[in-house]
Chain A
Amino acid sequence: MLIYIGRRIVMAISVLLVALVATFLLFFAGPADPAQSMCGELRCSQQKLQDIRHSMRLDRPVTEQFTEYFKGLFVGREITQSGSIQHCSAPCLGYSFRSQREVKGAILDRFPTTVALALMAMSVFLTVGISTGVLAARRQGSGLDRFVVGFSQVFGAIPPYIVLLLFALYFTVLYPILPRTASMSSGLWPWLSGLIAPAIVLGLVTSTGYVRYTRSSMVDSLAQDYVRTARSKGISENRVVYRHALRAAISPVVTILGLDMAFLLSGTLITEKIFDVDGVGRLTIQSMFQDDLPIIMGSVLITAFLVVTMNLVVDIAYSFVDPRVRLS
């Protein structure tokens, strides 16, 4: 197994490298002037632009710029800022001139909020999605089953931002039964309770996929011979459904869970914007509107890293879920 993990890590690194190079080329070797876009509406002085270009090594060849950036990921680097030199510790994801901060710091500050939102949403969509899927599969063909399938298809077809907007509007503004979002500085409970509303609706929107996957996987699983064997032992029906059928049906759910978590942890752009959650997603959107390239690039890299990592985690999880899987 360790050899497998070792190989996967090597593969992961090569994927990340490709993502790194591609992003770099897009931002820094593209036609737009990165220095100018970094300033944006601020109308930087020539001196400032010079500073930026110099510390970003924009006056150097692209390959050298890339090497600098790459080196910075491992050992840190020096950034020149209006004459003063700042040390950007490893892994250095760059420096945002717009907000006068290291990219890494800006992202890390907001990471706990995004993680909390992701975990809360996950608890919603896992419980709702899986239990509804199991219920529908147990009553396959009945009116309830047809309603569940139809409803999840219709609901899943509505663009998420509409659902998010309407939910935010009705439940946090017009009839505020759910608390509004608060930043971490307001205290632990206000912060957490502020995340309840976005977690619920984000969870519900995401759950439709889980309902359908779980249901179809359970329908298959309930028809298997080993479920018939389980029943013939005289154990309770619930035990048959959960310990035997669901246990075998859970693999496809693990796959999409891994990918969903990767994207949730990178920050849900629309949810955070609508609910005014101060997470990584909102940071990313702001940076996009402000052309703050270093932060955008940092976000892309973090997302790539999370996706690759979650893929590896999912594969390893498979080998625990299904003992027949031998990772080689």
Chain B
Amino acid sequence: MSMEFDEVVPVEAAAPRPVDVIEAPMGDVVLKVEDLTVRFPSDEGPVKAVQNLSYEARLGRTLAIVGESGSGKSVSTMTVLGLHNPARTFISGSVILDGEEIVGASQATMRRLRSAKVAMVFQDPQSSLHPFYKVGGQIAEAYLAHHRVSKAVANKRAVEMLDLVGIPNPDRRAKQFPHEFSGGMRQRAMIALGLVNDPLLLIADEPTTALDVTVQAQILDLIKDLQKKFGSAVILITHDLAVVAEVSDDILVMYAGRAVERGLTKDVLARPNHPYTWGLLESLPSASENLDSLKAIKGAPPSLVHLPSGCSFHPRCAYQDLVGDACLSQLPELRSVAPGRLIRCHLPDPERTLNPDAVLNDHSETSHQEISS
């Protein structure tokens, strides 16, 4: 149903359509998150870190989860590894990893899956490696946790992994401590640790934020190369849209604990359909060439205890007045605007509203092709 975008549209006109899931030809689904909700207790009330989140990760593809602080991007992936304190976290919904349910799983099950089926590379390699143990030993420990082999075999495997991630002199380096490594090498070692058991899914949480830009480029190249080699699924958590553009196939944009836009990276970043995504892209310096001021999103991310009513983004949304009161009173459902493309917004025709100058014909073809990274 197409509308003239300058008409004030009553919200009933954009009734939610059933969510389409596009089956990409490449790769099986290894992770299926459905309706995940995570809450933490706090003095001011429950912190609604993640609400009704659904997404998938597939072998051979990289999903980027984008959001700012408080968006819930890290919280949702920590749930996949079961790293939240069970006594203080409320988790509901379903997280299925290679056919096994994670929510409510026992600690024994989680221990079996961690590092073997799903592994995580954390943001700060300096603090994520134990300062008192040698690097090779730390990698070997992960291997020994899941394989009944001798220490010598595990150590050899650790050296192989260090070599695989491009660390020169791996046998010498394996006997060194983390503080003897440079920042880039430490992150490579973390990646080696993550991949030592050849997991189906690798989650990289802001893997390059703490690194210099030239090192970042090396690490991102490495992650892509290793994904091709091992065929694993990769989830990349970041706030850097340029990194997303270069490295990922699929994108999930989160705001205040909810998914607000999902789709192929190429489509979403070229022609965003959610005001938040659009606002993020517009606020980049490169979008304001030769202009004095950047096009900033007004306001600040909300408190997760006291979320705004209706759509969580409405206080900051540049398009809220186009829709009217529905944004304040009614939380929009996640709806499909094109095959494989989901948004959570009351705008009836976001494609046209947010991208009035975009040329549609060439892009509508490429979004159906596989974009090989």
The answer on A and B forming one complex is: yes
Chain A residues within 8 Å of B, Cβ to Cβ: 224-226, 228-237, 244, 247-248, 321-324
Among all A-B residue pairs, the 5 with the closest Cβ atoms: A234-B114, A225-B127, A233-B142, A226-B130, A225-B128
Contact A323 B132 (CB under 8 A): yes
Which A residue's beta carbon lies closest to that of B196?
A233
Chain A nearest CB, measured from B370 CB (Å): 31
Tell me which residues across on chain B come within 8 A of A236, comparing CB atoms. 111
Chain B nearest CB, measured from A129 CB (Å): 21
Tell me which residues across on chain B come within 8 A of A321, comparing CB atoms. 132
Tell me which residues across on chain A come within 8 A of B142, comparing CB atoms. 233-235
Rounded to whole angstroms, the CA-CA distance of A247 and B131 in the bound complex is 10
Chain A nearest CB, measured from B177 CB (Å): 5
Interface 1/0 per residue, B137-153 and A, CB below 8 Å = 00001100110000000
Contact B177 A230 (CB under 8 A): no
Tell me which residues across on chain B come within 8 A of A247, comparing CB atoms. 130, 132-133
Tell me which residues across on chain A come within 8 A of B179, comparing CB atoms. 323-324
Contact B127 A226 (CB under 8 A): yes
Contact of A324 among B83, B114, B116, B131 (CB under 8 A): B131
Interface 1/0 per residue, B97-119 and A, CB below 8 Å = 00000000001001111111001
Contact of A234 among B113, B124, B128 (CB under 8 A): B113
Rounded to whole angstroms, the CA-CA distance of A232 and B177 in the bound complex is 20
Contact B130 A229 (CB under 8 A): yes
Q: Are A232 and B83 CB-contacts (below 8 A) given A323-B131, A324-B179?
A: yes
Which of B83, B107, B110, B111 has the most chain A CB atoms inside 10 A of its CB?
A: B111
Q: Classify the secondary structure of B's interface with A.
A: mixed
Chain A nearest CB, measured from B352 CB (Å): 44
| 8 interchain pairs, CB-CB under 8 A | A226-B130, A229-B122, A229-B190, A234-B142, A247-B133, A321-B132, A322-B132, A323-B131
Contact A228 B129 (CB under 8 A): no
B120 on interface, CB distance cutoff 8 Å: yes
Tell me which residues across on chain A come within 8 A of B191, comparing CB atoms. none
Which A residue's beta carbon lies closest to that of B116?
A234
Contact B111 A244 (CB under 8 A): no
Tell me which residues across on chain B come within 8 A of A233, comparing CB atoms. 114-115, 141-142, 145, 193
Chain B 63-121 interface residues, beta-carbon cutoff 8 Å to A: 81, 83, 107, 110-116, 119-120
Q: Are A228 and B132 CB-contacts (below 8 A) given A234-B116, A324-B177?
A: no
Rounded to whole angstroms, the CA-CA distance of A200 and B142 in the bound complex is 41
Tell me which residues across on chain A come within 8 A of B130, comparing CB atoms. 226, 229-230, 244, 247-248
Contact A234 B115 (CB under 8 A): yes
Tell me which residues across on chain B come within 8 A of A232, comparing CB atoms. 81, 83, 114-115, 119-120
Rounded to whole angstroms, the CA-CA distance of A232 and B82 in the bound complex is 9
Chain B nearest CB, measured from A294 CB (Å): 47
Chain A nearest CB, measured from B195 CB (Å): 12
Chain B nearest CB, measured from A252 CB (Å): 15
Tell me which residues across on chain A come within 8 A of B81, comparing CB atoms. 231-232
Which of A224, A230, A236 has the most chain B CB atoms inside 10 A of its CB?
A: A230
Contact B127 A224 (CB under 8 A): yes
Rounded to whole angstroms, the CA-CA distance of A193 and B132 in the bound complex is 39
Which A residue's beta carbon lies closest to that of B111?
A234
Tell me which residues across on chain B come within 8 A of A322, comparing CB atoms. 131-132
Chain A nearest CB, measured from B197 CB (Å): 8
Rounded to whole angstroms, the CA-CA distance of A247 and B132 in the bound complex is 8
Which B residue's beta carbon lies closest to that of A234?
B114
Rounded to whole angstroms, the CA-CA distance of A231 and B130 in the bound complex is 12
Contact A226 B83 (CB under 8 A): no
Rounded to whole angstroms, the CA-CA distance of A101 and B32 in the bound complex is 84
Rounded to whole angstroms, the CA-CA distance of A324 and B130 in the bound complex is 11
Contact A248 B128 (CB under 8 A): no
Contact B127 A234 (CB under 8 A): no
Chain B nearest CB, measured from A175 CB (Å): 42
Contact B114 A229 (CB under 8 A): no
Known: A224-B127, A247-B130. 13 other contacts (CB 8 A): A225-B122, A225-B127, A229-B129, A229-B130, A233-B145, A234-B114, A234-B115, A234-B116, A234-B146, A235-B145, A244-B130, A323-B132, A323-B179
Rounded to whole angstroms, the CA-CA distance of A233 and B83 in the bound complex is 11
Rounded to whole angstroms, the CA-CA distance of A235 and B128 in the bound complex is 16
Rounded to whole angstroms, the CA-CA distance of A323 and B178 in the bound complex is 10
Contact B128 A229 (CB under 8 A): yes
Which of A225, A229, A237, A244 has the most chain B CB atoms inside 10 A of its CB?
A: A229
